[in-house]
Amino acid sequence: MQAPKWLSIERRPIPSGRTIFTVSILGIVAALIVMAIFFAAYGVSPARAYGAILHGALGNWHGFSETLRRMIPLLLIGVGLTIAFRALFWNIGAEGQLLAGAIAAAGIALFSGLPDPLLLPVMFIAAFAGGAAWGLIPALLKVKLGINDVITTLMMNYIAIYLMEWLIHGPWKGPTARGFAYTDTFARAAWLPTIYGTRIHWPTLVLGLLLALVMYMLVSRTRSGFEIRVVGENPDAARFAGISQFKTTLLVMLIAGGFAGLAGVGEVAGIHHRLLGPLNISMGYGYTAIIVAWLARRNPLAVIITSFLFAIIISGGDVIKVSLGLPFQLINVFNGLILFFLIGSEAFIRYKVSFSFRRQ
């Protein structure tokens, strides 16, 4: 047999919600335990490290507000990704879609000359369109030409990164930026309001929460939601039922790309108020949101919880750097571990895994 003899893997009947929940929690706990070993290796007691992270990310108003503002892009992108993943469209390109949205919004803010009250709404529309356009290219390539979505969405990330680099070093470089590679600051009317004393651009947060709800309704209550699921789970059945793979794929990527684009306008209009280096704008939200959507088991409402969880982890990274003197990169280790344990645990959900040391 293929697998080692001490390990046998059989397919389980449909797993219960409780199995899924328990196994997910166990996956996270396993990642936490491995991280505890890391902390101990650095001479920091794990209890103290976790205590500091929780306190720093949740225990005071400033920390909590930073956690919430990290949650916004993760929430928006994560909700969109649950829809794409439902149709089994492997959108690894949310990072690029976020940047495309940021670019589109910045273009409107800097050059449109629109009257003040129109500025922000048009920026949001442009960002949605920018992100959606960036996501629709791979979608079209997949349904029309059968080209692998993983690869194209991934490549589009880098094209967005270099497009942005080019804009801020070249044509869009601000005359008032004193030689730095970023654009001029947006006019005040293009700034999103924030909750006083914080960086929480609340309109984007509210939008994210609303969209999570709307998408939940879409997938659970509407025909489109049903079609998305059939296309993902059983393409043959979808064909028999006359469900258009073309329309469904375009729809899910319109949503996934558009929402990532909205995350982009949130970051530039809510935090930076200008276009600057891609790494300053995103630090990998598009990739982290993949874990967020995965952990939420493709349920848009659950993304509210999982995006908050990962926002804590990102804030925790600042905490362990500043107050414990540990490298911020531990966050990437932690994210990688969680993802591994999650997909590992997936096997325990889909299959019945048993260990035996008997000779067979």
Chain residues binding another protein by CB under 8 A are 1-4, 7, 9, 11, 38, 90, 92, 141, 145-148, 150-152, 154-156, 158-159, 161-163, 165-166, 169-170, 287, 290, 294, 326-337, 339-340, 342-344, 346-347, 350-351
Q: Shortest gap between Cβ of 334 and another protein (angstroms)?
A: 7
E-only strand ranges, the chain: 7-11, 351-355
Q: Which is nearer to another protein, 31 or 205 (CB)?
A: 31
Nearest CB to another protein, comparing residues 94 and 108: 94
According to DSSP, the residues that pair with 7 across neighbouring strands are: 355
Q: How far is the CB of 287 from another protein (least distance, A)?
A: 7
Nearer to another protein, 248 or 335 (CB): 335
Contacts of 76 (CB under 8 A, 6+ apart): 204, 207, 208, 211, 259, 260, 262, 263, 266
The span from the CA of 49 to the CA of 332, in Å, is 16
The count of residues in the chain is: 360
Smallest distance, another protein to C-beta of residue 333, A: 4
Least separation in angstroms between residue 155's CB and another protein is: 4
- Distance CA(119)–CA(126), nearest Å, equals 10
Q: Tell me the residue type at 9.
A: I
Q: How far is the CB of 345 from another protein (least distance, A)?
A: 9
- Closer of 170 and 175 to another protein (Cβ): 170
Residue 66 or 95: the one with the smaller Cβ distance to another protein is 95
CA distances from 287 to 73, 74, 196, 241, 332 (A): 11, 9, 30, 34, 11
